[in-house]
Structure 1
Amino acid sequence: MIRPVLQDDAFLADVDHATATQPEALHVWWLGQSGYLVAHNSTHLVLDPYLSESLSEKYAATDKPHTRMTERVVAPERLVGISLVTSSHNHTDHLDAQTLLPLFASNPMAQLIVPAENLAFAAERLGSSTNLMALGIGETVTLGSVQVTAVPAAHDELLPCYAGYVLKIGSWTLYHSGDTLLYPGMAEKLAPFAPDIAFLPINGRLPERHVSGNLWGDEAAQLAKAIGARRAIPCHYELFTFNTEPPDLFIQTCDTLSQPYTVLRAGERLTLPAV
């Protein structure tokens, strides 16, 4: 079992220290899978979190056991001061009631952005205690100091129930792809955003493992280069034993393309100093 770099009290202490001593910087922590905590000034965002054992429990007695590789970084109810949460699609590792309900109990004013197509599903899964906001593909909303644009994603198919998000916070632009394959015109659609960070899955697609489609590591690196990302960060690996790939191919391709990147470990922080 992989232990996070920082976990529980140590993780929360790092969040408090970073945001108190460098409030103007951009801080990013990997929560595992496709989940991130992002902080700038007094704004804290959580992107596609999965911080429970719900899938391991659900599939324990089946032919598709979701055996954990990495311990949980932090209990969701311990994340406080959160104003915005995203869910890119309805799969449980991106829309998990056992993560989101405790998170929103601790942050009752936070908003959860979901693709417009998924609003009814999310409301049924989470109930009325969560502040849901539907965002259609191509639409933009501003919440406090954060601007969010929903962009297409192709999780096997290019459908409106799958989204990526471009988030503008301070002077930074972040692209969280959600789960996606490459699709025609993808790079041309994303390049105008010129993201400072692109969070991209690298676990690929293996039908024999019942794994829905995602980028392989080399494809993630190539996409980051094509859209002019100033930094690429790989995700969606090292959570479940049946659904993972090492970041080696991503790293090798980034090096070949001279694409800047950072490989975070669970619970680890990246800080970009204020410009």
Structure 2
Amino acid sequence: MRITKFGHACVRVEHAGVRLVLDPGGFTAREAVTGADVVLITHEHADHYDADHLRAVEAPIVTIDAVARVIAAHAPDLSERVRVVGPGDLLDLGVPVRVVGEKHAVIHPDYPRFDNSGYLLTCGDQSVYHPGDALTPPGEAIDVLLAPISAPWLKMSEAVDFVREVRAPRSLGIHDKVYSDLALGMVDTHMANLVGDLSFVRVPDGADLE
């Protein structure tokens, strides 16, 4: 299994000749979707979904109904490639994928709740979980957590507690464009101090998780 971090919340996972790209949004360079066999979108926000990125590749688009409706309204040329999934669905996308959760984290009580579903990928004997914009645990032991670390809906303590709750041996920081480099350094310090024997790392855009 190869995991490559791209801009913000976008990650490419490669296994057994299959390339799955998750959440190539507006903070992500177009190169992230190059060669994608499947693109998965967790929710409709622009930092996770960008129609022009999806137009740059011919891959199927796997996503929830809320995103499918946005695509139908604003990018209908993409609709024929959309496969709608829901919480608990088990998918065969060249690797097994389970759909996890159904709501975005609360940004503010005055805002309506958005739909959001994460994806748990099983790549041989390794598993990787992308929660989207939520702190919904995967419900089973996993090997790699793609851990959100900066967002209007997220406190540092919540990010730490999510890593602790999931207890993946390795966590890769994602959703990182909201903070400055100084603040991201603070994230590194707090994670190192507070997650115990669990490994938390950040890597530059375009780099692989070693």
Aligned to 1:253, which of 186, 190, 194? Answer: 190
Aligned to 2:47, which of 93, 102, 107? Answer: 93
CA distance in 1, matches of 2:98, 2:85: 9
Q: RMSD in angstroms over aligned alpha carbons? A: 2.4
- Contact 2:151/2:175 (8 A) holds in 1: no
Larger Rg: 1
- C-alpha deviation, 1:48, in angstroms: 0.3
- Contact 1:30/1:268 (8 A) holds in 2: yes
- Contact 1:196/1:231 (8 A) holds in 2: yes
Does the C-alpha gap of structure 1 residues 97 and 74 become closer, same or farther in structure 2, counting only changes over 3 Å? closer
Aligned to 2:94, which of 134, 137, 144? Answer: 144
For residue 10 of structure 2, what is the aligned residue in structure 1?
A: 35
- Contact 1:200/1:232 (8 A) holds in 2: yes
- C-alpha deviation, 1:160, in angstroms: 6.5
Superposed counterparts of 1:260-271, under 5 Å? 260-271=199-210
- C-alpha deviation, 1:76, in angstroms: 5.3
CA deviations on 1:34-92 (whole Å, 9 max, x unpaired) are 0011112201110101367xxxxxxxxxxxxxxxxxxx655357x12x22111111111
- Contact 2:102/2:117 (8 A) holds in 1: yes
Partner AA of 1:50 in structure 2: G
User: Is the partner of 1:162 in helix, strand or coil?
Assistant: coil
Aligned to 1:226, which of 151, 165, 171? Answer: 165
Aligned to 2:145, which of 170, 194, 198? Answer: 198
- Contact 1:147/1:169 (8 A) holds in 2: no
Relative to the length of structure 2, the TM-score reads: 0.83
Aligned positions, number: 201
Does the C-alpha gap of structure 1 residues 202 and 216 become closer, same or farther in structure 2, counting only changes over 3 Å? farther
Superposed counterparts of 1:66-215, under 5 Å? 73=29, 75=31, 79-80=34-35, 82-102=36-56, 104=57, 108=58, 110-129=59-78, 131-156=81-106, 159=113, 161-180=115-134, 182=135, 186-187=136-137, 190=138, 192-205=139-152, 213=153, 215=154
After the TM superposition, which segments of 4 or more aligned residues of structure 1 sit over 6 Å from their partners?
A: none
- C-alpha deviation, 1:257, in angstroms: 2.4
Task: State the structure with bigger RCO (CA 8 A, min sep 6), 1 or 2.
Answer: 1
Structure 2 unpaired stretches of 5+ = none
Relative to the length of structure 1, the TM-score reads: 0.65
CA deviations on 1:98-118 (whole Å, 9 max, x unpaired) are 21111x2xxx3x221111233
Does the C-alpha gap of structure 1 residues 267 and 51 become closer, same or farther in structure 2, counting only changes over 3 Å? farther
Partner AA of 2:163 in structure 1: A
Percent identity, please: 21
CA distance in 1, matches of 2:205, 2:117: 24
- Contact 1:87/1:94 (8 A) holds in 2: yes
Does the C-alpha gap of structure 1 residues 151 and 224 become closer, same or farther in structure 2, counting only changes over 3 Å? same
Aligned to 1:46, which of 17, 21, 28? Answer: 21
- Contact 1:222/1:253 (8 A) holds in 2: no
User: Is the partner of 1:166 in helix, strand or coil?
Assistant: strand
- Contact 2:20/2:37 (8 A) holds in 1: yes
Structure 1 unpaired stretches of 5+ = 1-25, 53-71, 206-212
